[in-house]
Amino acid sequence: MFKYSIGLSSWPRFNVAALRNVRFLASEARVTVKPLHSRKTFLIDSYKDMMDKNPVVLFAHHNNLLKQENAFFRSQIQQLGGKMTVVRNQLFQVYLRNSHLEDPCAPSEKLEQNRQHPLMPLFKGPTAAITFSETEPDKIAKLLKLLDKSSDKMFVVGAKIEGQVLDVPSIHDFKTLPSKNALQGQLLGLLTVLSGAGLVRTLEAGSHSLYLTLQSHHDNIDPENKKSE
């Protein structure tokens, strides 16, 4: 089990139980820039876990949210099936620079770091990550509609969806797409149609080829018949 010099129960924004499966935390030989049991190491591990496990992560800036406003947004997002996590910009940028490495908390040379990560420019103000465990465009549409009514208290500035970094216009395009299940159904139907047509062509091509082969064989056996034809 894990022991931390700072009580994890004092960090209400993170689900400690969910982070017990974070890779590397159980490794006694793990080398980290900050002490293994420090809060900074814990937070970077939590960011890695969050980004790895959720196909949809939207980043939103929030402006001086009151306690009740914070609770309201968290509740509304939870009703949509998402989760809101306020992040520490500098630590999240540390994660981004090293996210391609096996352990983002481990010491790394500057040349190894990705200082041009496309998400880096988003972290220039109070930022929250809104995560969804499923890729459902309609839920993103509902979230954007919710935030549009917030009087700029909170607004989306970018996202990472299914491994792709999207800007705000692309997010608005994405929200109009059918659900993943609907898209898979459409793709399956298209493949069925194409495979059916392809099968007919294959069968026709085979019979036509067989006919030409037999006809050629027949002509070779009976040249007089070929002349008469």
The pair of structure tokens assigned to 225 is 């018949």
Residue 72 and residue 150 in one domain: yes
Quick one: 64 and 129 in the same domain?
Answer: yes
* Shared-domain flag, residues 48 and 70: yes
Do 132 and 111 lie in one domain? The reply is: yes
CA distance linking residue 133 with residue 56, whole number of Å: 7
Take residue 2 and report the two structure tokens written for it: 């894990």
The answer, yes or no, to whether residue 12 has pLDDT greater than 90, is: no
Sign of the four-CA dihedral 37, 38, 40, 46: positive
Both structure tokens of 194: 């194409």
- 145, 139, 131: which is closest to 178 by C-alpha? 139
Domain containing 197: what range? Answer: 183-228
In the structure encoding, which two tokens stand for residue 123, read together? 């972290």
Mean per-residue pLDDT for 114-134? Answer: 96
**What are the pLDDT digits (tens) for 168-200?**
999 999 999 887 777 777 777 777 776 655 555
- pLDDT grade for 218, boundaries at 50, 70 and 90: low
Question: Would you state the pLDDT for residue 15?
Answer: 57
pLDDT at 203: 53
Across 41-48, average pLDDT: 97
Report yes or no: 129 and 85 within 8 Å, Cβ to Cβ.
yes
If asked whether residues 155 and 190 sit together in one domain, one would say no
Half-sphere exposure of 199 (CA within 13 A, CB side): 6
Considering the entire predicted model, what is its pTM?
0.70
Q: In which residue are the tokens 């139980």 written?
A: 17
* pLDDT for the residue 199: 53
Question: Higher pLDDT residue, 121 or 198?
Answer: 121
pLDDT at 1: 40
**166: confidence class by pLDDT, cuts 50, 70, 90:** very high
Is the model's pLDDT at 155 over the cut of 90? yes
Query: What letter would DSSP give residue 112?
Result: G
Amino acid identity of residue 29, one-letter, is A
The answer to whether residues 138 and 179 touch, using CB atoms and an 8 Å cutoff, is yes
Domains contained in the chain, number: 2
Question: Is there a single domain that holds both residue 37 and residue 102?
Answer: yes
Q: How many residues does the chain have?
A: 229
Q: Are residues 99 and 193 located together in one domain of the fold?
A: no
Q: Which two tokens stand for residue 12?
A: 């209400």
Average pLDDT over residues 38-43: 96
Note whether 169 and 190 are same-domain residues: no
Sequence-distant (6+) residues with CB within 8 A of 4 are: 37, 42
Residue 2 belongs to some domain of the structure: no
Q: Are residues 28 and 99 in the same domain?
A: yes
